[in-house]
Chain A
């Protein structure tokens, strides 16, 4: 099965990178889910939670304040605005949890 290559980046660091089965993100007018083979897309994100399901792993969740997502031939790039408070507390790292 095809996989998605996902880059989740903040302004000053790469938050998560790797291959994934699916990605869901809070787009400006409703949540979107992305599976391999998705058509090219560019969307604005609003505040919410990005969920990435890595290949053979447990879902990774990450809260964003905004940003945008671009999908292009199974390559997903998410530029996220992180909350400065979460950064300061060191809680900005992705959390793992069962889907």
Chain B
């Protein structure tokens, strides 16, 4: 009986210390998320400028650029999965990976060959555990992506897209990331990055005026050549920033729930420990009473 009490006390201690860890992780995520959202906000001006510029060139000249035209010479499709480096973020990485697996299955059904690229250690370990070949992977700082990382990813993918079919060129590029909507909602999304569809962008350019007739220096083609890769890099960077904010939000809410659960566990263990102690006391009393009764009966 005394053994049972000790077992409960030990489990309470263990749960208490876990609770402290969860609480600390929740606070860390909460403090970083503000910064992550600031980064998202800070990247908006350049994204807007680029979108506006690209659509300006697009309306001015007939776009016939390798990055905007469909490739018919290869049926390979590149899929980039953006996940976190560390766990403890609830279903964040699992959701992104599931979305990617859907996409991969769809592509396979359509008779396409899928090339996988992974960002974040969770995706890397998921695919390497299943012996799936990754054409490229990046990890580190998934909750604080740098411009350089985005450039590296974009350059690798652009190279793959522009490569000849026999060198492993891909015809399409999809990116799977998690869109940060609110602190409680983050949705995994798939977007087709390449070939680029030049739309008027997320933000309509101020509609009251027509696009001016720009002079291009040195030439429209050269400007487009310089703009489009920059645009792709910018889009990829935006995806990484969204994913980072989502990761932190997911981690914060997961750790919040974990802290709550730990508290519940501690409470129920405390009750059971008390019950065990009471049972022990009752038993001891009845032993004493029955002992003294036996002695009294003798005399």
Contacts and interface: CB of A to CB of B under 8 A. Distances in A.
Contacts of A73: 209, 212
Interface string A41-59: 1111000000000000000
B116 interface: no
B209 to A, nearest CB: 8
Interface string B203-242: 0000001001111111000110011001001100100000
Contact of A28 (B147, B222, B230): B222
Given A14-B45, A70-B49, A79-B230, A44 B215 contact: no
B223 A43 contact: yes
Interface in B169-216: 209, 212-216
Main secondary structure of the interface of A (DSSP, over half): strand
A11 to B, nearest CB: 5
Contact of A11 (B43, B213, B217): B43
Interface string A72-94: 11000101000010000000000
Given A28-B218, A72-B212, A72-B214, A42 B230 contact: no
Contacts, number: 82
Given A14-B42, A28-B217, A43-B216, A68 B53 contact: yes
Contact of B234 (A11, A44, A77): A11
Interface string B55-79: 0110000000000000000000000
B215 A42 contact: yes
A47 B143 CA distance: 31
29 contacts: A7-B45, A7-B49, A9-B45, A10-B46, A10-B147, A11-B43, A11-B233, A13-B42, A14-B42, A28-B217, A28-B218, A28-B222, A32-B217, A39-B215, A40-B213, A40-B214, A41-B215, A44-B218, A44-B223, A66-B226, A68-B53, A68-B226, A68-B227, A68-B230, A70-B52, A70-B214, A77-B52, A79-B50, A84-B147
Interface of A: 7, 9-14, 27-29, 32, 39-44, 66, 68, 70, 72-73, 77, 79, 84
